[in-house]
Amino acid sequence: MNEETTEVSGRESEKESGEESFVLVWLTGIVFIAAMAAIFLFVPTEQTEGPVQRIMYIHIPSAWLSFFAFFIVFICSILFLWKKEREWDIYAHASAEIGVIFCSLVLITGPIWAKPIWGTWWVWDARLTSTLILWLIYVAYLMLRAQTDAGSMRARYSAVLGIVGFLNIPFIHFSVLWWRTFHPQPKVISSEGFGKGMETSMLATLGISLCAFTLLYFLLMGQRVRQEKLKDEIDQLKREHLYSS
C-alpha cells in the first residue's frame, strides 16, 4: 500500500468512527435523560431514607463504571504484557483515567449520602477503606505514567500496577459480607438472587442509570483513546523529522 492509499483509508476510517461517535453521543444523551426522568419523576421515594436515597442511582453506577474501567485496565495490561503492542497500553491508560474520575465520584457521593443516614461523613470500615485504597492505587498508576518517560518500561511497570490494583476489587465486593460494616449489604447481586433485595421500579431505574453510565464510559474511552493516538502521531512525525534532518 502506498502513502496516498494509506491516507485515504485513514480518512475513511476517521469518518466512520466520527459517525459512530455521533450515534453514541445521541444514544448516551437519550439514555441519560431517561435515567434522570426515572430517578426524579418515576421511582418512588424510599420510606426510611427519604429523597437522599436517590443518590444511590448515581452512586452505584459510578462505582460500576469505575470497577468496569479498572477491569478493562486489568485485561489490557495482561494483553500488553503478553503481546507487547502499544495499542493495549493506550487502552489501559485511557481506562485507568476514566476509572479514577468515577472512583473519585464514588468517594464523594458516598459520604454525602452517609452524612444524613449514618450521621457521619466517613467511617474506616472495610468497604470504604478498600475503595479508598483502590483509588490510591490507580492514582499512583496515573502518577507513575506522568512522572516516567514514555517507552516500553513505563508501559510494563504500569501494566503490572494495573493488574495488581484490580485484585482489590473482589475484596471490595466481598468486604461487606466478610466483616461487619456500616455499608449496606449488596442488594442487586445478593445471595437471595439477582435484584431480589430491591423493588422492581428501583431496580429498573438503577438498570437505566447503569446503562447510561456504561454508554458514557465507551464515549469517554473513544475520545481518550483518540487523544493518545494523536499524541503518538505527533511524536512519530517529530521522530521522523529528527532522523531525516
Partner 1 sequence: MDNFGFLFAANAFVWGGIIYYVYTLKKRSRELEKDLELLKETLGKEPRK
Interface positions, 2-21, toward partner 1 (CB under 8 A): 7, 11
Min dist. Cβ of residue 168 to partner 1 (A): 22
Binds partner 1 (CB under 8 A): choice among 35, 54, 126, 165? 54
By CB under 8 A, tell whether 96 contacts partner 1. no
Binds partner 1 (CB under 8 A): choice among 24, 27, 105, 211? 105
Residues in the chain: 245
Residue given cell 496516498 in the structure block? 4
The amino acid occupying position 189 is: I
CA-nearest of 126, 238, 208 to 173 is 126
Q: At 194, give phi and psi (nearest 5°).
A: -65, 120
Min dist. Cβ of residue 54 to partner 1 (A): 6
- Please state, in angstroms and rounded to a whole number, the distance separating the CA atoms of residues 150 and 139: 18
Give 4 or 149: the residue with its C-beta nearer to partner 1: 4
By CB under 8 A, tell whether 62 contacts partner 1. yes
Contacts 24+ apart (CB under 8 A), 194-202: 199/44, 201/42, 201/43, 201/44, 202/43, 202/46
Report the interface residues with partner 1, using CB under 8 A.
Answer: 7, 11, 48-52, 54-55, 58-59, 62, 101, 104-105, 108-109, 112-113, 115-116, 216, 220, 223-224, 226-227, 230-231, 233-234, 237-238, 241
